[in-house]
Structure 1
Amino acid sequence: MKDRRRACLVVPTNRECVATLAEVIAEAEYAAGHFDVDVHLLILDSSEHFAEHAAALSAARNVWHLDDARQREFLRRVVGAADVTKPDLLLDLMQPKALSYGACTNRAFLTAAALGCDTVHRRDSDLYFQTYAGEKVFPIHAELSALGRPARDVVATEDRLDDSRRDLPVAMAGASFVGSMSVDIEDIRDHDAYYDLVSLWAAPGSTDEEKRALVDESFTGSAPFDGDHTILSVVDPMRVDMHNISFHGLQERVPLPPATDTIGSDYFLIHVADKAGLPGLLHNRHIVNFHTAERKTDAGFLAYQLRFAKFILSMYYLHFVYQRMTTDAPADIAALVRESTWQPREPNETTADLMEAAYRRLGGRFTGVADLIRERRDTLLIEARRDMDDYALLIDAWAALIAAARETPV
């Protein structure tokens, strides 16, 4: 008798999120009730609110609620069982002391493999779901309808997939969001310097028109749900967000960049799926995004803006990879990641200077961000490059880590 498929619905968190957990518990229950699937709810909890979260999760089924210590112990066993070079460094890349969006999702990928799950469905701790016609709009409905199935068998509202892709399984299903901007810079959208700042993440060689289009589109959401609409295609990375994403197979071939204090470091697989031409499902079950009060405090504001600054500096290397990537083969991707670090640093130094000037033009509390960028300029530039060296090492080790995780109890 064939085993039921298993899905891992994961929420990484470093903040209080009892309300979001209630939403995701309901999503897990919905999936189990509407699909022939066992749903494992995984909470990777680095917050100071573990007890509150445990109480909120106490009545849910198939819950894995892991604090930092339990995550570290699991990772230590996985790394120890894998035949990898630099195991201590790899352990730190999987669970760095600083915040890392990519690393927390990589931990979810390894834990999902240990749980025998072939799909991973990622949500964030600062979201809730839309309601339509009195019912919650759960993204997992669209995700489980397509993930892992041969593309030719997937029914969608629109089919834009090339015939040459139809025998491949659907590797990714995702949507976007409604509500607050995904990057917390809404307060400055009407400022003249907004374009100067946001256009800095454009690919080298972009025309002024392309930069304008990028700035207009960046970090903004989508239309509210008004009935299911799905598109079977190779998904445009600009159409989906990592707080509303799911993967089949791809997450076991390629990890995410483990860069620290860098927003956007967890979006790499979306680009792999695009450049490799993997079938995907784009749906419109968008989550509702909101910003927590902590981000508006002085400390939270500065920390977040520096993560945005590091995102801009990281794009110098990531664009190099995206412009050349044509496959999801890990060895080829690792080679491109390494090659990206051989570029001269001067263009990124110019970006750092332009970024400082843009923040200074914004004035007010953004002047403090400009001061920090000036103060930490060389460190930020060094870290952006070193993050890519670390990423290449992790890609090399990923197959061994996934294989070890499959044999490691959580």
Structure 2
Amino acid sequence: MQRVCLALPTMRPCPGTIVDLAEEAAYAVANFEVEVHLLILDTTGADEFARNAEAVAALDPVPGVFVHHLGEAQQREFFRRVTERSGAADPELLLELMVPGDVAYGSCVNRIFLGAAALGCTSAHLRNDDADFQVLDGRKVFPIHHELLSIGRPAGEAVAGVTRSELDPADADKPVMLVSGSFMGELNVDIGEIRELDPEVYRDVVRLWTPPVWPDEDRDAMVDVSFKGTGTEPFTADHSVLGVPDIWDVFMCNVALDHRGYEVLPLLPSVRTLGCDYALLHSLVHAKLPGVVHNRHIVNYYTPERRTGAGFVPYQMGFVKLLLSMLYLYPVYGGMIDLGPKLLDEQYRLKVEPILELVRGTIDWDQAGNEHCLDVLDRSYRKLGGKYAELADVVAGRRQQLLDEAREDARRWAVLIEAWAGLVAAARAEGLRPGVDGAAG
């Protein structure tokens, strides 16, 4: 029987989301021959953790569904054992990259990937704590429906489970390693207020994350689609397409990934950096692997803390760090596009060596592009005034630190990629044990 990991990373109390995902897991075992491990990686404080734990304890037991709720201390202890078991020369550094003690979206998803390996799962199905499922005729619309129809199967077999196929017959033997829906509602990065205050400033700022080598018209076209989902049309009937997806149609907030991808390439372990968790999707798409894009979109919403006085600057600094990370990510993505199917071995698995070489090649990249980025941000934020002028002061005060951190993040990513195979093997050998590691069934 196929064993899959339905995963929820959270840093806030979200009992309603936990109930929703338990329902999705129950739907999966009722409709597919699977065993579902609901993995909740919880980095909340004691009171918030207790609220989430109460929601877990109140779940009705469902045969074939196993719930694992790990707090931050439990995660750190598990990954300490994994990093030490991996045989790496510097397990303390790897532990810091896996559990940095601060918000790190890529690191959190990397913990999910190793957790899935420890549980013996063949796929990871990622959800967010700031999104809802759509509802049709009183029933929630679960993305796992399309994911389990296709994930891991040879693409030629997956044709039977989609409503339209654009599959190249030459790709029929390649596995479906990516199934994704989109999202509705708010932008997936909370910068809509900038657009409301000054559309031109918004365009200048968002242009900073477009590839600088592109023509201006292409960069402007990218601004128009960036951080947006699928619009407002609600779900009425299933629609899914099999083929090589466009990178703009896949989202980490609503995705299933096959282990033959995530057990090869970890995500960028940057701290407090929005959008640093997409490198694996780029590798699968640019390698021309078949995937499925479906319309069981989730509904994205904003949690209030990112707009409060205390939360505004840290959140927006995460966006600044996203912009600076692109100096190091775009050369990697461009190299992936150039390599195409050469990123795969004879069994259609990702090859880590060419990706690692691309990442290492960016570490000493000229920082002039990021200097320019910070100059434009300073000018743009001061034009907006108010709290954005205060944000400009914070960015200016941390200018050299931000430049250094972006470069160091690239170096640390290379270290993690090099150690990843050993970490996966160690996680699989270590296993997640009920009771000992905070798991409950």
TM-score class normalised by the smaller sequence: over 0.9
- Counterpart pick for 1:329 among 326, 351, 371: 351
Question: 3-state DSSP class of the match of 2:417?
Answer: helix
Q: Percent of counterpart pairs with the same letter?
A: 45
Residue identity matched to 2:55: A
2:237 aligned with 1:227:
yes
How far has the Cα of 1:203 moved from its partner? 0.6
Question: Counterparts of 1:128-147 in structure 2 under 5 Å?
Answer: 128-147=132-151
Q: Which runs of 4+ in 1 moved over 4 A?
A: none
| Secondary structure of residue in 2 paired with 1:407 | helix
Residue of structure 2 equivalent to 1:103: 107
Distance 1:180 1:370 in 2: 24
Report how far residue 366 of structure 1 moved. 1.1
2:151/2:179 contact within 8 Å kept = yes
**Aligned match of 1:217:** 225
Aligned length: 407
1:40 counterpart = 2:37: yes
Q: Give me the whole-angstrom Cα distance separating, in 2, the residues matched to 1:235 and 1:356.
A: 36
- For the 8 Å contact 2:324–2:373, the answer to whether it is kept is yes
Is the CA contact 1:234–1:273 (under 8 Å) kept in the aligned structure 2? Answer: no
1:79-158 to 2 correspondences below 5 Å? 79-154=83-158, 155=160, 156-158=162-164
Q: Deviations over 1:84-103 (max 9, x none)?
A: 12111011000102210000
- Structure 1 partner of 2:257: 247
**Rounded Cα–Cα distance in structure 1 between residues aligned with 2:3 and 2:177:** 15
CA deviation map 1:47-105 (0-9, x unaligned)? 12111111111125411000011111111111111121211101100010221000001
Amino acid at match of 2:183: F
CA–CA distance in 1 between the matches of 2:89 and 2:170? 38
The match for 2:53 is 54
SS at match of 2:229: coil
Q: Secondary structure at the match of 1:10?
A: strand
Residue pairs, 1:200-215, within 5 angstroms? 200-215=208-223
| 1:76 partnered with 2:80 | yes
1:392 aligns with 2:392: no
Please state how far the C-alpha of 1:160 moved relative to its aligned partner: 1.8
Letter in 2 for 1:214: M
For 2:184, the equivalent position in structure 1 comes to 178
Contact 1:197 1:359 in 2 (8 A): no
- 1:40 shift after superposition: 0.3
Q: What RMSD, in angstroms, separates the aligned Cα atoms of the two structures?
A: 1.1
The 3-state SS of whatever aligns with 1:340 is coil
TM-score (normalizing by structure 2): 0.90
CA distance in 2, matches of 1:269, 1:214: 20
Does 1:7 find its partner at 2:8?
no
CA distance in 1: counterparts of 2:306 and 2:149, whole angstroms = 36
Could you tell me how far 1:164 is from its partner in structure 2? 2.5
Aligned partner letter, 1:333: I
Give the aligned partner of residue 277 of structure 2: 266
Secondary structure of residue in 2 paired with 1:128: strand
- What SS is found at the alignment partner of 2:9? strand
CA distance in 2, matches of 1:115, 1:366: 45
The CA deviation at 1:188 is 2.2
Alpha-carbon distance between aligned partners in 2 of 1:129 and 1:309, rounded to the nearest angstrom: 30
- CA distance, structure 1, for counterparts of residue 369 and residue 193 of structure 2: 29
- Return 5+ residue gaps in structure 2 as ranges: 344-349, 433-441
Structural mapping, 1:293-304, within 5 Å: 293-304=304-315
Gaps of 5+ in 1: none
- For residue 362 of structure 1, report the CA deviation from its aligned partner: 2.1
Contact 2:364 2:407 in 1 (8 A): no
Q: Does 1:375 align with 2:381?
A: no
